[in-house]
C-alpha cells in the first residue's frame, strides 16, 4: 500500500513539471484511425522575419499511430495573423517518406500562435490535410488519405532556419 501511495504522490508532484516542458501534442485521425504525435521541442523551431511574418518547422514523434507510420514533419508559414501549411510529411519507422501533402488539394491550418517575452512560442489549433502516398513508399502510388489534427499545448523554444 505504501509503494502505491508513494507512486501516486510522485506522479502528482511531477505532473506540473511535465506540463510545463516544451513540446505539446498533436492528436486526431488519419482517415478513421486515431493518431497522435508528441512535438519534439529540441528538433522543432521557429523564425520570424518581422513581427507578423515567419515560419514554424515542427517535428513530432509518434505516440499512437498505425503500423508503417512514424514521425511527422510540418512547415507552416505565418503572415499577418494567418497560417498556411506549406509542407506536411509523414515518415515510416525508418525515416522514409510515406505520405505527403497533396499538391492539388493542400491543407487547411488554423493555428493560434503566441510569442512570450522569453522567446517561447505557444501553438494551438487545428489542421486538416489531404495526403498522397509517395512513390516507393510501399503504398498504392497516389493513394489519398485525410489527416485531421488538433494541436494542444504546443511549445517551441528554439529559433532558427
Counted residue by residue, the chain has a size of: 161
pLDDT score recorded for residue 105: 64
Can you tell me the distance from the alpha carbon of 53 to that of 40, in angstroms, rounded to the nearest whole number? 23
Exposure on the CB side of residue 77, measured as CA atoms within 13 A: 6
> Among all chains, which residue has been given the C-alpha cell 506536411?
88
CB-based contact 145:99 (threshold 8 Å): yes
Can you tell me the distance from the alpha carbon of 151 to that of 83, in angstroms, rounded to the nearest whole number? 14
Beta strands at 144-156 and 23-30: parallel, antiparallel or unpaired: antiparallel
Alpha helices for the chain (secondary structure H): 2-19
Q: What is the pLDDT of residues 70-126, one digit of tens each?
A: 999 999 999 988 888 999 999 999 999 999 997 776 678 899 988 888 888 899 999
Nearest of 145, 150, 143 to residue 60 by alpha carbon: 150
Q: Per-residue pLDDT for 14 more than 60?
A: no
Task: Give the mean model confidence (pLDDT) for residues 26-54.
Answer: 92
Q: Is 144 helix (H, G, I), strand (E, B) or coil?
A: strand
Please give the distance of CA 12 from its chain centroid, rounded to a whole number.
Answer: 26
This model's pTM is above 0.85: no
Which residues are bridge partners to 154 per DSSP?
A: 123
Q: Per-residue pLDDT for 61 more than 90?
A: yes
Amino acid at each position: 500500500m505504501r509503494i502505491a501511495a508513494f507512486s501516486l504522490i510522485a506522479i502528482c508532484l511531477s505532473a506540473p513539471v511535465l506540463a510545463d516542458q516544451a513540446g505539446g501534442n498533436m492528436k486526431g485521425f488519419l482517415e478513421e484511425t486515431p493518431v497522435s504525435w508528441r512535438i519534439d521541442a529540441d528538433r522543432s523551431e521557429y523564425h520570424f522575419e518581422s513581427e507578423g511574418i515567419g515560419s514554424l518547422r515542427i517535428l513530432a514523434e509518434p505516440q499512437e499511430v498505425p503500423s508503417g507510420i512514424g514521425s511527422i514533419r510540418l512547415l507552416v508559414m505565418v503572415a499577418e495573423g494567418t497560417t498556411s501549411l506549406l509542407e506536411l510529411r509523414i515518415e515510416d519507422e525508418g525515416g522514409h517518406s510515406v505520405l505527403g501533402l497533396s499538391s492539388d488539394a493542400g491543407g487547411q491550418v488554423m493555428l493560434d500562435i503566441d510569442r512570450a517575452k522569453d522567446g517561447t512560442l505557444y501553438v494551438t489549433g487545428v489542421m486538416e490535410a489531404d495526403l498522397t502516398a509517395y512513390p516507393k513508399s510501399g503504398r498504392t502510388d497516389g493513394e489519398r488519405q485525410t489527416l485531421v489534427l488538433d494541436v494542444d499545448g504546443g511549445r517551441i523554444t528554439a529559433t532558427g532556419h
